[in-house]
């Protein structure tokens, strides 16, 4: 028997109820497997009819009957020969015979029967179907048998179950909220980004609204980096293959890279020589032909920047930062909005320091991360420290060096005052690391970026600095991209704020709503004034009812809007409405409002805790 928590046991039992109902409605179905998942369960089924939402409802109704019948789950143990007989008797031979082969010889073969349904299963199960107090079928997706694209695609029916109706309702509410916050949906509604098949899957187009958010974030991070004595650099999007051979990124990781680019004429020349594509690939791998690689990593370029000058110990640490765009070949099935893409811009930096400086530098990285998270209202986050596996010998560098670096990471995490866990065996072969998992407003966790110590690349590139002893020494490198990439980070922020960004990030900060056509010129005057202070402001000059204009502000999630009626215009005032910060509301002069808003922007004030639910 496998270990299952009581909740998993309940959910897995519900998957048997699902299969029971499906076979009653569609007896021709061939079943594959139905395990519990983190949030529920599924069953993979082979059925020619494509199930839709109406079918799910009918299946749910049948499941309720099965539960009401209060069928008992009975465990039946048998020999392999008997099991084969049972599978044949049930008519479920397409997948279940293969699944029987998966059961290790050391394990007892068992079936579970409830009512008329019998399924090959290790268990465990709840006693009776009535134990399932609350369940819901959620969705249908395609899933290849055994996850292999060469196998038949089955239908995966997802559902969830809970010990009580209240818990199910709470889960469904959370799910709905998550759906309303989905960055792919909001990204479209709010015109933040666009992914166009003609450009390429996984390649993000930042449309003007999204570009504002990214630029503001980059400005904020850059400023903090400048204050922390980082130097900004720019490097090209492609580099020679040789560079990535030295770093080890090519050809070892070529499965996750776009294929190399060769110099003009190379392909024609090789074709004339009678070479095949396979030859070309081999010659690129071996280095007989040099070519270029779309940059999969910024590090080798930053190393070359560092190495473009001799360094003394007095120069260290050298901190080179770049919003560096890299390209990786992700499988198309893995792509997801902005959070899994093929081209992305890392908030990257590489620190070159002495061994003694590692602790201080890591601490500096963590302080910056803390500041950015706090500013964005993500005060709940945790840190994972990836340490070496003490039993393995795959690591470069000596044990004393590792001990020191691991201690430095631990110490830095402690001074941060947040939760951290240590994960032995999670370090890269070239050094220990720290990564960040942040909690958003509705409690979901997102893994962002890392801070990684590296003893390997300085070795591979033969980097050195002159020490106080006038001898050459090897620097240590720290890679850090704490927010991962601008794409992923913005995707997470869209969901975190449900599209209602704080004023400093909002693409449109203020909208002016003149109540009559003849008030438009005065609205334009106010617009001009606010623009002189670099406030992102527009006028809704369309002849429409005020109610409609206000609704549009809510749909577009504009944080502040100014209503300009005849009375206000005569008094030289505007009526400030604020979705983001109620404290700014009231009747005031445009100049007064401007002063308050500039303060709000400078302070990066977070939106008031929300009252409205994000349903738009
Ligand atoms: Zn089972
Ligand atoms: Zn790096």
pLDDT 10s digits, 569-600: 999 999 999 999 999 999 999 999 999 999 99
Question: What is the per-residue pLDDT for 1?
Answer: 47
Pairing of the two strands 30-31 and 41-46: antiparallel
609 belongs to a structural domain: no
Q: Where are the alpha helices (DSSP H) in 197-341?
A: 208-227, 241-247, 266-272, 277-286, 299-306
- Average predicted confidence (pLDDT) for the chain: 92
- In the sheet with 343-353, reading across from the earlier edge strand, the strands are 231-232, 318-327, 343-353, 476-481, 445-454, 433-439, 381-387, 420-424
Better pLDDT: 274 or 41: 41
| pLDDT tops 50 at residue 615 | no
Give me the percent of the chain exceeding a pLDDT of 70: 99
Same-domain check for residues 88 and 214: no
Phi, psi of 450 (to 5 degrees): -135, 160
Question: Predicted confidence band at 2 (pLDDT cuts at 50, 70, 90)?
Answer: low
* CB-count burial class (<10 Å; 0-12, 13-18, 19+) for 19: buried
Same-domain check for residues 216 and 87: no
Q: Which ligand is nearest to the CA of 110?
A: 1
Q: Please compute the mean of the pLDDT values over residues 362-385 and round it to a whole number.
A: 90
73 Cα–ligand 2 center, Å: 54
Same-domain check for residues 554 and 575: yes
Same-domain check for residues 256 and 222: no
Q: What is the 3-state secondary structure (H, E, C) of 384-422?
A: EEEECCCCCCCCCCCHHHHHHHHHHHHHHHHHHCCCEEE
CA distance linking residue 572 with residue 519, whole number of Å: 12
Question: What is the per-residue pLDDT for 616?
Answer: 39
Choose among 258, 271, 36, 281: nearest CA to 158: 36
Same-domain check for residues 159 and 286: no
Same-domain check for residues 355 and 383: yes
449 Cα–ligand 2 center, Å: 11
Same-domain check for residues 245 and 233: no
169 Cα–ligand 1 center, Å: 25
Q: Catalytic residue numbers?
A: 299, 328, 346, 348, 350, 433, 479
185 belongs to a structural domain: no
268 belongs to a structural domain: yes
Same-domain check for residues 91 and 151: yes
352 Cα–ligand 2 center, Å: 11
b/e per residue 304-319 (b: at least 16 CB within 10 A):
ebbeeeebeeeebbbb
Q: Which ligand is nearest to the CA of 125?
A: 1
590 Cα–ligand 2 center, Å: 48
Question: What is the per-residue pLDDT for 132?
Answer: 94
Q: What is the tens place of the pLDDT at every residue in 298-332? A: 999 999 999 999 999 999 999 999 999 999 998 87
* Domain termination site, one of 163, 193, 217: 163
Q: Which ligand is nearest to the CA of 295?
A: 2
**CATH code of the domain covering residue 540:** 3.40.50.800
Same-domain check for residues 277 and 391: no
Range in 51-60, 204-213, 376-385 the model is least confident about = 376-385
Joined together, the tokens standing for residue 131 give 């134990």
345 belongs to a structural domain: yes
479 Cα–ligand 2 center, Å: 4
Same-domain check for residues 541 and 492: no
Q: Which ligand is nearest to the CA of 431?
A: 2
210 Cα–ligand 2 center, Å: 26
Q: Please compute the mean of the pLDDT values over residues 419-446 and round it to a whole number.
A: 86
CA distance linking residue 607 with residue 601, whole number of Å: 11
Question: Predicted confidence band at 607 (pLDDT cuts at 50, 70, 90)?
Answer: very high
* Domain termination site, one of 163, 191, 216: 163
178 Cα–ligand 1 center, Å: 30
Q: Which ligand is nearest to the CA of 123?
A: 1
Same-domain check for residues 288 and 244: yes
**CATH code of the domain covering residue 409:** 3.30.930.10
Q: Which ligand is nearest to the CA of 122?
A: 1
pTM of the model: 0.82
391 belongs to a structural domain: yes
302 Cα–ligand 2 center, Å: 8
Q: Which ligand is nearest to the CA of 454?
A: 2
22 Cα–ligand 1 center, Å: 15
CA distance linking residue 334 with residue 561, whole number of Å: 40
Q: Please compute the mean of the pLDDT values over residues 270-281 and round it to a whole number.
A: 83
Q: Which ligand is nearest to the CA of 449?
A: 2
Pairing of the two strands 343-353 and 318-327: antiparallel
Pairing of the two strands 343-353 and 420-424: unpaired
* Domain termination site, one of 294, 320, 335: 294
124 Cα–ligand 1 center, Å: 6
| pLDDT tops 90 at residue 416 | no
110 Cα–ligand 1 center, Å: 10
| pLDDT tops 60 at residue 468 | yes
Q: Report the domain count for the chain.
A: 4
589 belongs to a structural domain: yes
Same-domain check for residues 452 and 359: yes
| pLDDT tops 50 at residue 614 | no
Pairing of the two strands 560-564 and 574-578: antiparallel
Domain that holds residue 350: 204-237+309-496
458 Cα–ligand 2 center, Å: 12
| pLDDT tops 80 at residue 443 | no
8 Cα–ligand 1 center, Å: 11
148 belongs to a structural domain: yes
Range in 37-46, 255-264, 371-380, 392-401 the model is least confident about = 392-401
Pairing of the two strands 510-514 and 560-564: parallel
Length of the chain: 616
Q: What is the tens place of the pLDDT at every residue in 168-225? A: 999 998 888 888 899 999 999 999 999 999 999 999 999 999 999 999 999 999 999 9
193 belongs to a structural domain: no
Q: Which ligand is nearest to the CA of 433?
A: 2
581 Cα–ligand 2 center, Å: 40
415 Cα–ligand 2 center, Å: 25
């Amino acid at each position: 028997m496998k270990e299952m928590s009581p909740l998993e046991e309940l959910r897995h039992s519900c998957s048997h109820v699902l299969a029971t109902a499906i076979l009653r409605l569609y007896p021709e179905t061939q079943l594959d497997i139905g395990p519990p998942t983190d949030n529920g369960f599924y069953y993979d089924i082979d059925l020619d009819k494509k199930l839709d939402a109406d079918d799910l409802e009918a299946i749910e109704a049948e499941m309720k009957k099965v539960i009401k019948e209060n069928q008992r789950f009975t465990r039946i143990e048998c020999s392999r020969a008997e099991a084969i007989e049972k599978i044949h008797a049930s008519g479920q031979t397409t997948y279940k015979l293969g699944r029987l082969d998966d059961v290790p010889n050391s394990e007892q073969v068992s079936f579970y029967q409830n009512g008329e349904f019998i399924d090959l299963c290790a268990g465990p199960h709840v006693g009776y179907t009535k134990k399932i107090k609350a369940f819901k079928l959620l969705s249908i997706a395609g899933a290849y048998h055994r996850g292999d694209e060469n196998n038949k695609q089955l239908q995966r029916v997802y559902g969830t179950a809970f010990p009580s109706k209240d818990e199910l309702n709470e889960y469904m509410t959370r799910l709905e909220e998550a759906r309303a916050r989905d960055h792919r949906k909001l990204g479209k509604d709010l015109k933040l980004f666009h992914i166009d098949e003609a450009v390429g899957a996984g390649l993000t187009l930042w449309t003007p609204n999204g570009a504002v958010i990214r630029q503001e974030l980059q400005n904020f991070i850059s400023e903090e980096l400048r204050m922390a004595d980082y130097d900004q650099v720019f490097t090209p999007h492609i580099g020679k293959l040789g560079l990535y051979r030295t770093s080890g990124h090519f050809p070892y990781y070529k499965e996750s890279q776009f294929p190399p680019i060769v110099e003009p004429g190379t392909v024609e020349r090789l074709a004339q020589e009678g070479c095949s594509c396979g030859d070309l690939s081999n010659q690129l791998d071996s280095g007989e032909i040099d070519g270029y690689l779309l940059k999969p990593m910024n590090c080798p370029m930053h190393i070359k920047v560092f190495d473009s000058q001799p360094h003394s110990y007095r120069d260290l640490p050298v901190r080179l930062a770049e919003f560096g765009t890299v390209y990786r070949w992700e499988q198309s099935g893995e792509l997801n909005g902005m959070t899994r893409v093929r081209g992305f811009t890392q908030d990257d930096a590489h620190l070159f320091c002495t061994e003694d400086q590692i602790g201080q530098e890591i601490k500096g990285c963590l302080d910056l991360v803390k500041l950015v998270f706090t500013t964005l209202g993500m005060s709940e986050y945790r840190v994972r420290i990836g340490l070496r596996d003490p039993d393995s010998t795959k690591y470069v560098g000596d044990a004393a060096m590792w001990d020191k670096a691991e201690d430095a990471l631990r110490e830095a995490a402690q001074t941060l005052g947040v939760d951290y866990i240590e994960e032995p065996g999670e370090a890269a072969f070239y050094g220990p690391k720290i990564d960040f998992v942040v909690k958003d407003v509705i409690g979901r966790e997102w893994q962002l970026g890392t801070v990684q110590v590296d003893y390997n690349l300085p070795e591979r590139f033969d980097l050195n600095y002159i020490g106080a002893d006038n001898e050459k020494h090897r620097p240590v490198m720290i890679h850090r991209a704490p927010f991962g990439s601008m794409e992923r980070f913005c995707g997470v922020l869209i969901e975190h704020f449900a599209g209602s960004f704080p004023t400093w990030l909002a693409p449109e900060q203020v909208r002016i709503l003149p109540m009559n056509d003849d008030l438009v010129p005065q609205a334009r005057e106010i617009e001009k004034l606010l623009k002189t202070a670099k406030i992102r402001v527009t006028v809704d000059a369309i002849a429409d009812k005020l109610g409609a204009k206000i609704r549009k502000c809510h749909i577009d999630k504009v944080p502040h809007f100014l209503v300009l009626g005849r009375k206000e215009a005569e008094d030289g005032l505007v009526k400030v409405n604020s979705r983001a910060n109620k404290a700014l509301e009231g009747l005031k002069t445009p100049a007064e409002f401007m002063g308050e808003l500039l303060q709000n922007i400078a302070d990066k004030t977070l939106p008031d805790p929300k009252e409205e639910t994000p349903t738009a």
